[in-house]
Structures are given as structure tokens and as C-alpha cells.
Structure 1
Amino acid sequence: MTALTNQETIQRARRCTAAEDYDIGTRFPSVFVSAQGSWMEDVEGRRILDVTAASGALLLGNRHPRVVESITRCIAEHGTVFASTLSLPRIELAERLCERYPAGEKAVFSKTGSEATTAAIRLARAASGRDVILTSGYHGWHDWHLSYLRIGYDAGNRIGCFGYSRHALARMLDAFGDDVAAVIVTPEPAWFDEEYYRGLSRLCASKGVLFIIDEVITAFRWGVRGLNGTGNVPADLITMSKGLGNGHSISSVVGRRDVIDAYDTAGVAGTYTREVPPMAAALAVLDEIDGTQAHANAERLGGVLRDGMRDVLAAVGIPAVVAGPPMMFDVVMPSEQISWDVYRAAFDHGAYFEDSGTHMVTTAFTDADVDHALAAFEKGAREVAERHTFEADALSPERLAQFRAEAFGGELDDEVVRQRIEQTVQAVVERDPALARRLDPSCG
């Protein structure tokens, strides 16, 4: 068979599997056939540096020797999945995570971040006997979470969004805190510091409401142990996934024993939650980042990349804000179109950046990789800057507010938002109790 070009392969995918926006419109035009470390090769043989860490799924890079050896040995010597839900790797991994994170007393496992967050709210409802969940940030694609970008109340799913507004959360907990099973929030370290999340944790504790940190991304990228792992932000549950298995599908809910012990009542189940090789991969990941300087070196290189991208944008005259920890930082430019154009141009020069503006490195990155990423980024940024005239040297507060709102649902505290908060409170207080659903026991 004659080898197809990237565009021909994309057309082939379009006919049989690809979603027009998710798979094609929001991606750069390559179909990849292999990857090693942080480098990918497409169907035309072009090598491109991945500056997304496969959307955060990779922590150590593709085909890390320690992970490859652990998984192949697991499959060859032990198998892949058993009739029992329990295995020695599951038990060891649960013990390791509970030792690693202050919230940890017990841990349970699933396959994806969306499953982990959904399981967490099921556990919270089952353990508390309460119904309402308050949330900020993205927690996955499941039905209960489709309205996350705007303060409001989803009556069908009993989900209230507080838009990262501490005032909104305090107002809601004052009005109907006795009905709230949990507050779940995704950390956005480029925008809110530890003290902000510590304040949310204290507020929940004062009202007797479970506090859940969705660390699907941050568990290994806000430092080596995530936000809860700093020891400064108590939580009743945390969720994690990306990076845990270094690209192998696994997620976990870690937290209080009495909440995790509501597992049966919550009806959480799934045959492939017992798959063993991803657990072997996760154990190898923990061995690597806890036993070597790999994570510290990645943080150093991530910091060089972050600061270098800030310098490039300043040098070419594109107003921007670059902020966040070195292994997951945000770059905000004057518009989504400008951002897309810069990253699309950088792709033509051999670097695949995340078009949303959140960039992540792996421990496979080297100094040469950072140099390559910055060279591609500078070429792309210069090409775009030459076609535009920018009216100001700095981004406006309105642009930053727009980014916050569209990226993760962060709301400002203005009169419109305050009115929406009161409307949300009224909607929850006046909700129909008959919409609450009974949790059925697990059947799997």
C-alpha cells in the first residue's frame, strides 16, 4: 500500500471515525505513528516535539524504560485482568498513594479522570446522605458537569457552579449548606494560589461539607505531589489521573476512609477498574519520580521554557501574560485567534504546543528540547507579530477576564455576577426534592 500523506490520512479518518471539531478542527494537521520521549513522528516521517505532554497524560515521556519494563513484565509473568477485583499491584498502589498524599486513608481506582470525578461525587453523596454538589472548574465530559462555565444551578443533576468566587461559595453554603454533599474544585495554579484553596477548604470545614480537590492534572504537576501534597490545603477526597500511569489509562480517588467506604452504597463499579498493567505502570512512575531527580529537572526545564516564551513574546511585541508552575503554565495572548496562529506557525517549525495556552513538559525533556521549542515558538511568534499591530503593551483586564471565563469558568465579582449568585441561591432553595435520586447498590 502506498503511504498516505497527513492530509490523506485525515480524510480517511474523517470518513470513518474523526469528529470534525474535536479531532480535526482543534488539532494541527499530523497523524502520528510513533513517539519516543517527548518527540513524535507522523505518517510523513516528520519529527515534532510534543509540548503538551499528550494533554498531560505523560509525565515521564513515551516509552520510558522503567514503565515499559514494568508493564511487559506484569503481562508476561502475571497477566492483565483477573476475576477478582483485588490484586497485589492494586493494594500496593493504594498504600503508596495514601502514604504520599495527606488526604489519603483509602484509595479506589478507575480508568479516566472523568470517571474519577464522577465516582468522587457519587461517594460524597452516598457518605453524606446529601444531594447538592457545588463545583468550579472542569471535571470531565459526563452529563452531571456540562454547565461548568457559568455560575448557576443544574436542577436535573443537582449541581451548582460557583465560578471560583469565594463570595459565591460562602453565600451558597450559608443559604443551603445543610443540603450540600461536597464542594469540588479544579486547581488553576496560574490564577489562584495556595491561600485561595486553603480558604475554600476552611470554609467547607466550617460548614461540615466535604471538600474535594480535582487533581487529575495537578497531582504530579503542581510540584511533585500536587496541591494537597503540599500539606497546606486539607481535603476530604482528591482525584488524580494524568501522569499517574504515564499515558496508561488509570485514575484514582484518594481520601477519607469513611467516605471511600461508601463505595458499595454509591454503586461505583466497572470491570476494567481491575486491569493490572496500568497499576504496574503507576508503581513504576512513583518509583521514578520519588527515587530520582527527574521531576526536579523537569521543573527546571519547564521554568526555562516558561520564562523563555515570556521573553519571546515581549521581544516580538505581542502582549501576553505567562504564569503558573513550571510543569503546567498558561500563556494568554490578545485573542484566541492570535494564540492559534502563533502555535500553528510554531507547529510548522517542529513544535506541537497546546492551542488553549496551557503548556506541559515531561521528565524526558532535555535542554536541547527546550531550545528547539523556544526556537520554533519564536519563529511562529515573529511571523504572526509581523502581520499585526497591537494597541497596547499589556493585556487588558477584559481579555484576562474573558480567558478565565472561557477556559475554566472563573467569574469576576461584579454586579451581574452577584445577581446571578442570588438567582442560583434561589433556584437551589426552591428546587424540587423529588429530583433527588436514590443511589442503587453496585451490581458489578
Structure 2
Amino acid sequence: MTVQTNPELTSRKNAAIAKGVGMSTQIYAAKAENAEIWDQNGKRFIDFAAGIAVVNTGHRHPKVIEAVKKQLDCFTHTCHQVVPYENYVVLAERLNAKVPGDFEKKTIFTTTGAEAVENAVKIARHYTGRSGVIAFAGGFHGRTFMTMTLTGKTAPYKVGFGPMMNDVWHLPYPNELHGISMEDSLEALTRLFKSDADPSRIAAIILEPVQGEGGFVPAPEGFMKKIREICDENGIMMIADEVQTGFARTGKLFAMEHHGVAADITTMAKGLGGGLPISAVTGRAEVMDHAQPGGLGGTYAGNPLSVAAANAVLDVIEEEDLCARAERLGGRLKQRLAAVADKVPEIVEIRGPGFMNAVEFNVAGTKTPNPDFVKKVVEEALERGLILITCGVYGNVIRFLAPLTIQDAVFDEALDIIEASILAAKKG
């Protein structure tokens, strides 16, 4: 069989796949190991996207592969709601113990992050008997109709898809760089309660501890505690969307551990499956148990292969101390970026806990976002063999999501490429 080039495959893709499925690169993967990907023509790339924080434990981690192969030899699918299996129960027990919150918890499994968020909203509405949901500008929660409505970014997620769901409101998310303080966000919530949505109508407030698509913007110290207090005062469920922040990425297993409070309901996906599709919702037992049997679930929810992978992922995170490694890697990356910033005034902020890091670019000496500069950096890096992806409401942020298991030598190589690419973009 003749191996086609990336442009040839792109031509076939354009003819066969709907253009609404966007692509960050035109690289077609043939092989991947840990933090490296090889395309069909044998070119090597260092992966600083990790499938958008999915393979935190690296591509094809041996323990994950071994667990999946072992399960493959037993069975691939029964539908847990028809014929259940023990490893589903084991994974639920482990998440109940690990998700923040000093209270009894229960878990359900779903397949995607959006599906987890959909179910979290369903559960909150059923438990409270209310319909309203509050989300935040810049947040990303998925592309289904409810999660698209919750997402606080219009393009490309909402444009042309018609009316959004009812009873959803958005508040400004604290971002000092963009002139929004924590007090501004809390005042906006007070005004919302006074003008548009009585608190007794609100089932849930959903937010990311670190906004993902919104630009890797961490919630400021004290903000989560304030939201927790407001939820408690008004009988509102607090939902932490940990789909991108979960599983050691921020230096803790879950990002909410940085804030000293627990959500009533936590959604997770991405890093949980180590490359296999699985998501979960974990919450207070009395809240999770409120829905009637059959009200939750799905045919593929908690697929045996994905559950096996997830159990292995939790083992790897613990055995290899990936939370501590995330802190070390992120510290080194931010140190290198800070040194580059001395030469590149377009860099206006370097941020993010653990190894969930980002750098934001403006037009030098102004507050104007500079997505063109970001595009040049990404293109330069790709030419040098490094995959980078962007985020931010204005597209002027580069996020760094390499596997936490990346080899030191490969990481050093990537840091050199990042610096060279930013300096090359600066030269024009």
C-alpha cells in the first residue's frame, strides 16, 4: 500500500469529512509513544497537546495498554445496565474516595465530557426541583445543546446553531489581566439575582477551576469559597467541571483541591481514560441517588475497556507521583518562558498551576490581543517538530499540555523549540 503524504490525506479528508470538524494541524498520525508522534511519512513531532489533556499519562502507557489487553481477552461490552461488571464498581469506589469532599459520594460513568456535564445538570435539576443554571463567560463545557449553551464563547461553538437552551445565564469570570476582578464577578451574580433570576430558581452554578478554552485562567484565591458560600445560602448545587483540569494536570489529582472547598457534583473525562473514551460524574450520595432508575446511564457508558484503562491511569498517577511531576515540569516551563519574556514584550502573562500552563500575547505595549503573533509561534514550532495548540476568547493564548510522563530529554528539546519559535515570530 502506498503511503500518502499529509497534503494528499488532507485532500481526502476535505472530500469525506464535514468541515465543521476543525483540525489544528494537517499531521496524520501513524504511531505515538509517550510524548512523541510520528506521521505517516515518518516525521517525528513532540506532542504538547496530549489529545487536549487526554493522555496525561502519555501515549500508550505500558500499564494502560496491559490493562486494556487483559480486559479485551475477557469481554468488550455487555452494557453495565444489562450485565454489570466488577471493574466498573471498583473505579466508582476509587473516584468516590478521591474526588474532593468529606461526605459520602456516588458515581456514574458516561462517555464524553459533554455527556458528563449534561448529566450533572440533569442531576442538579432533579435534586433541587429547579431549572436555572449559571455558567461563566469564557467557559467551555461541550458542544451538545445544553453544554453549548453553558459554554461562554460564541464562535465557533454557537454561531448558526439556532436558539440556545432556556434558563441559562452567564457571569464574567475573574481575569485581572482583562480587567475583571473577583469582586466584579460576585457583584454581577448579585445583580443577576436582583434583576433576572431569583436564587430559588437556580439549580446549579457550574464553573471550571481553571478555564480551559477560555485561556487557562485559574480561579483566583478565595473565589471558589465565595461561590460555595453563595450556593449553600441558596440551596444551589455547585458543579466543578474538572474535565480538563482533572487527573494530576494542575499538580493535584483534582484542581478543586487547590481551593479548600468541595463541589456538590464533579464532572471529569479526558485524562481519566488515558486515551480511551470515558467520563464520570461524582457527587454527594443523596444528590446522585435522587434520579429514578433508568434516568441516568447510556449504552456505552462505562465501557469495560475504558474502565480498565481508567483504573490503570489512577495506578500510574499514584505510582509515578505525577502530581509532583506536574509541579516540576510546570515550574521549569514557566521559568523558561519568563526568560523569553524579557526579550519579547508581546508576552503579557505566563500562568497556570502545575503543568496546566499558558502564555498570553498582546500587541507590544498595548492591551490589544495578538492572535497573529500566536499563529506565527505555532507555525514556527510545528516546522521545528513541536505540536502546540491555542485557546483564549481572542485566540491569543498558547496552552501547554504535554503528557506528565514526558521524558526529561524530550522536554528539554521542546523548551528549546518553544523559545526559538517565539523569538522567530518576534523577528517576523
- Which category of TM-score, normalised to the shorter sequence, fits these structures? 0.7 to 0.9
One-letter identity of the residue aligned with 1:172: L
Match of 1:73 among 70, 75, 83: 70
CA RMSD of aligned residues (A): 2.1
Measure how far apart 1:157 and its partner are: 2.6
Give a deviation string over 1:6-51, Cα, whole Å, max 9, x none. 111111111111526x434xx1231111100010001121000011
Q: How high is the TM-score relative to the length of structure 1?
A: 0.81
Give 1:431's aligned residue.
none
Q: 1:340 aligns with which of 375, 387, 405?
A: 375
Whether contact under 8 Å (1:93, 1:282) holds in the other structure is yes
Do residues 207 (structure 1) and 234 (structure 2) align? yes
**Partners of 1:67 and 1:372 in 2: how far apart?**
26
For residue 13 of structure 1, what is the aligned residue in structure 2? Answer: 13
Residue 423 of structure 1 corresponds to none
- TM-score by length of structure 2 reads 0.84
- 8 Å Cα contact 1:134-1:160 kept in structure 2: yes
Distance 1:337 1:111, change over 3 A: same
Larger radius of gyration: 1
For residue 169 of structure 1, what is the amino acid of its counterpart? L
Deviation at 1:89, TM superposition (A): 0.8
CA distance, structure 1, for counterparts of residue 43 and residue 164 of structure 2 = 50
From 245, 250, 271, give the equivalent of 2:299: 271
State the shift of 1:83 in Å. 4.6
Aligned match of 1:192: 219
One of 42, 46, 49 as aligned partner of 1:52 = 49
Q: Which runs of 5+ in 1 are unaligned?
A: 388-444
Unaligned regions of 5+ residues in structure 2, if any? 155-162, 174-184, 211-215, 363-369, 392-397
Identity of aligned residues (%): 30
Please, which of 344, 350, 354 is the counterpart of residue 385 of structure 2? 350
Match of 1:61 in 2: 58
C-alpha displacement at 1:346, in angstroms? 0.8
Q: What is aligned with 2:122?
A: 122
Q: Deviations over 1:151-200 (max 9, x none)?
A: 9xx87432111222222223334550001111111122644224111111
Deviation (angstroms), 1:231: 6.8
SS of structure 1 residue aligned to 2:300: helix
SS of the residue 1:315 aligns to? coil
Change over 3 Å in CA distance of 1:38–1:326 after alignment to 2: same
Aligned residue in 2 for 1:160: 169
Tell me how far 1:303 sits from its aligned partner. Answer: 2.0
User: Partners in 2 of 1:203 and 1:83 — Cα distance?
Assistant: 39
Map of 1:139 onto structure 2: 141
Aligned to 2:90: 92
Q: CA deviation at 1:300?
A: 0.8
SS in 2 for 1:321: strand
Which stretch shows the higher mean deviation, 241-250 or 290-299? 290-299
3-state SS, counterpart of residue 22 of structure 2: helix
Residue 6 of structure 2 aligns with an amino acid whose one-letter code is N
State the partner residue of 1:379. Answer: 420
Report SS of the residue matched to 1:116: helix
Question: Per-residue CA shift, 1:192-246, capped at 9, x if unaligned?
Answer: 2241111111111111111111111112222222133347122110101111111
2: distance between equivalents of 1:298 and 1:178? 41
Q: Contact (CA 8 Å) 2:129, 2:203: kept in 1 or not?
A: yes
Instruction: Quote the offset at 1:276 in angstroms.
Output: 0.7
Is 1:310 the equivalent of 2:338? yes
Single out whichever of 253-262 and 291-300 deviates more from structure 2: 291-300
Quickly say closer, same or farther: Cα 1:321–1:268, change in 2 above 3 A.
Answer: same
Provide the secondary structure at the position in 1 that maps to 2:198. helix
Higher helix share: 1
SS in structure 2 at match of 1:115: helix
